[in-house]
A and B are shown apart, each in its own frame.
Chain A
Amino acid sequence: MFTNKRKLRWLALGAVATGALASAPVPAQEVVKIGLIVPMTGGQASTGKQIDNAVKLYMQQHGDTVAGKKIEVILKDDATLPDNTKRLAQELIVNEKVNIIAGFGITPSAFAAAPLATQAKVPEVVMAAGTSSITEKSPYVVRTSFTLGQSSTIIADWAVKNGIKKVATLTSDYAPGNDALKFFKEHFTAGGGQIVEEVKTPLANPDFAPFLQRMKDAKPDAMFVFVPAGQGGNFMKQYAERGLDKAGIKVIGPGDVTDDDLLKDMGDAAIGTVTAHIYSAAHPSEKNKEFVAAYKKAFHQRPGFMAVGGYDGMHLIYAALQKTGGKADGDSLIAAMKGMAWESPRGPISIDPETRDIIQNVYIRKVEKVDGELYNVEFETFKNVKDPGKTKK
């Protein structure tokens, strides 16, 4: 039966909606609010969790008050969807009146939030995404992670120097992967190397086997690999299974593929992989040993480079607030952040005053067994590397 009287049903629903929509009043400016937007669910969840953990750890260690202001972090899950990121950033800025937005697991998310940062004059601290051009999207973007260019150019130069002639490349088909490929290719071919095979894998990709078979059939000296954080483990497993290690094809690349987060379980096939990267849990400094110990104690896991990005991002925010004496408007914060230099668990780092991008050491590391566990052991250091995506211009 189909009656015409669906009375007041709408009103009842409306009442429910009203209750849910009304947001609580925002307290005045004694607190500095940081909106942390990271993927906590979905394929990139491990990135978000590392960052969240590191932020919590930093606040545990350094207290929640800086320059007389209480720091409050509001965590939001964007599920790796850029439109979510944008909406959450907008709501945090408009409703919660956050002073800083931070996080951003993937490049499109960081891109999506950039116009808002400009419009609202809110600093955007990028703790993970690694595409070179992000910092150019808004004068309020600051990065504490890294760019793919930094590590890719260095590993390319290293490969040329160490007699690697023919390389096959396997990169994820999205902005950071394409960046990595571009910078590697430029430096590697300029040094006389040859790219014999080029494969781009889709971002969401369950099975590397066919791609690896292609690599194997191309018979290169080494393969250059970039896969996003979290996929490195699966890649290494299949690399071993396909017998590429036995065929003498070494893996080189930016350090994402041997992410500390997963390295422990990758198996012995990973031994000998040479990568260039900005952080290793085995970095031999006091600061890092403390950091790794504290992180392990709190979360029963080894911190990866994503965690360090989050940790340093928090440090940058704290230090900037200290410098401004608690002034939390976007322009003063950004001014304070420019040129900031400090000792991070990964080594000495600073923020480039011109590009607001990070300047840091890049280390060449080899996977080795230390006390029965796999670690990236650093054996060569390139000091104060700027993002090559910008120095060229």
Chain B
Amino acid sequence: MATSSDVGRIARAHASWHWSEIAFWCLALACGFAFPSRYLIMTDIVRLGLFALSLDLILGYAGIVSLGHAAFFGIGAYSAGLLALHGVITEPVLALLVAGLAATVIGFLTSFLVIRGVDLTRLMVTLGIALLLEALAERYSDITGGTDGLQGIVMAPVLGLFEFDIFGRTGFFYALIVLFLLFLIARRVVHSPFGLSLRAIKNNPLRAAAIGVPVNRRLIAVYTLASFYAGIAGALFTQTTQLASLDVFSFERSADLMLVLVIGGTGYLYGGLIGAVVFRMLQEFFSTITPEYWQFWIGLVLVVIVLVGRARLHRWVLLVPNWISRQLSGRKAAVAIPESEA
């Protein structure tokens, strides 16, 4: 039995930064300098990573499955687009925050619908909300531009200093910095007592309630937080592409997101980021080889991942790093991915 001081010590140990994490972020930054010709796809990956991080907060930590996370992505995207288009708030960082808050409001309001019910119900309610918003955006095409999307968005320089350029350089570093800051917050949150209580709820809501965790309030809080993240991801999308059209709400976007997170692994924050890298790279790789039939190969990869087993695959991926770290540290290193299913 662990005493309470033990629990605190272990929690603190988990919360401390590991050198591999630092390496990860250094590497991400290095990519920005190493591949100046690929800023656009890297920006895309960063955006997707942030979006997946948002889903991880509710799926990986609180066990809420969602097939409609694009709802908040879309709200963020359209908010940012409308703000810029009508010149309400031209400064991107401020507009980003406002767009994120708009998504937060919607997230808070819909969270009451989502926390009811079981997995399948939640899946469909979240999906329904996203589709509803898509239908609304299509209906009020005089505001949203309908299927044609918002046209003619022009972004002001970030902080009035950095102009968005054709190579996507500003866009990439801007997105990466936003991702990093939000990641820091997310990391802080999941290692806080609040984050631990979420894990308790995920593992067993009844028991969590019995030890005095206000289950519903915690779920509402994390769902709202996740919607803020998704809104920011959406706003980043609009700001870096200067586009916003109906597909920001689409089912495909939510479904892809789920794939990304599941590929990367849930419940350790980096899953979404890694999944985003892997998924986009695969997509890019296959669609370069065969622009017509790349979906087949993506599908095959997904099927193989499941058949082989994600846990086993992760072990294989880690074989080499494990071996190296054993050699380096001289200790038996048990590298494992903490993963649990929703």
Contact = CB atoms under 8 A, between A and B. Distances in A.
Interface in A46-94: 49, 75-77, 81-83, 86-87, 90-91, 93-94
B78 to A, nearest CB: 14
B327 to A, nearest CB: 11
Contact of A91 (B40, B247, B291): B40
Nearest to B333: A5
A41 B286 CA distance: 13
B335 interface: yes
Given A16-B281, A23-B37, A23-B38, A8 B325 contact: yes
A77 B147 contact: no
A173 B35 contact: no
Contacts, number: 156
Interface residues of B, number: 61
A7 B20 contact: yes
A1 B243 CA distance: 44
A7 B149 CA distance: 44
Given A82-B243, A120-B166, A6 B337 contact: yes
Interface in B36-78: 37-38, 40-42, 44
Q: Which of B14, B31, B287, B320: most chain A CB closer than 10 A? A: B287
A119 interface: yes
B272 interface: no
A323 B287 CA distance: 35
A8 B24 CA distance: 9
A16 B279 CA distance: 12
A173 B138 contact: yes
A32 to B, nearest CB: 20
B214 interface: no
Contacts of A202: 138, 147
A77 B38 contact: no
24 contacts: A2-B14, A3-B335, A5-B333, A5-B334, A7-B19, A7-B324, A8-B20, A9-B335, A10-B23, A13-B317, A17-B31, A41-B295, A76-B287, A87-B44, A95-B37, A95-B38, A108-B149, A108-B245, A111-B151, A116-B166, A173-B141, A173-B147, A175-B148, A202-B147
Given A5-B335, A93-B166, A108-B243, 6 more contacts: A7-B322, A13-B274, A17-B31, A91-B40, A175-B148, A202-B138
A115 B153 CA distance: 11
Contacts of B13: 4
A77 B40 contact: no
A111 B148 contact: yes
A366 B40 CA distance: 48
Nearest to A11: B23
B146 A174 contact: yes
A376 interface: no
A74 to B, nearest CB: 9
B324 A8 contact: yes
B321 A12 contact: yes
A10 B264 CA distance: 12
Interface of B: 13-14, 16, 18-21, 23-24, 27, 31, 34-35, 37-38, 40-42, 44, 138, 141, 146-149, 151, 166-168, 237, 241-243, 245, 247, 268, 270, 274, 277-278, 281, 284-285, 287, 291-292, 294-295, 317-318, 320-322, 324-325, 333-338
A8 B22 CA distance: 11
Contacts of B151: 111
A108 B147 contact: yes
A281 interface: no
B166 A18 contact: no
Interface residues of A, number: 51
A112 interface: yes
Given A87-B44, A91-B40, A7 B168 contact: no
Nearest to B240: A83
B41 A6 contact: no
Contacts of B317: 9, 12-13
A99 B284 CA distance: 22
Contacts of B277: 13, 17
Contacts of B166: 90, 93-94, 116, 119-120
B8 to A, nearest CB: 15
B239 to A, nearest CB: 12
A370 interface: no
A83 B241 contact: yes
Contacts of A28: none
A203 interface: yes
A212 B301 CA distance: 43
B328 to A, nearest CB: 8
B168 to A, nearest CB: 7
Contacts of A112: 241, 243
A90 B40 contact: yes
Contact of A174 (B23, B147, B285): B147
A90 B171 CA distance: 13
B147 A3 contact: no
A276 B270 CA distance: 56
B338 to A, nearest CB: 4
Given A86-B241, A119-B166, A4 B14 contact: yes
Kindly list the 5 A-B residue pairs having the minimum CB-CB distance in the complex, ordered from nearest.
Answer: A8-B321, A174-B147, A10-B24, A77-B291, A7-B325
Contacts of A75: 291
A14 interface: yes
Contacts of A116: 166
Given A2-B338, A20-B281, A7 B333 contact: yes
A11 B13 CA distance: 22
Interface string A223-237: 000000000000000
Contacts of B34: 18, 21
A105 to B, nearest CB: 13
A86 B31 CA distance: 22
A250 B166 CA distance: 50
A115 B242 CA distance: 10
A138 interface: no
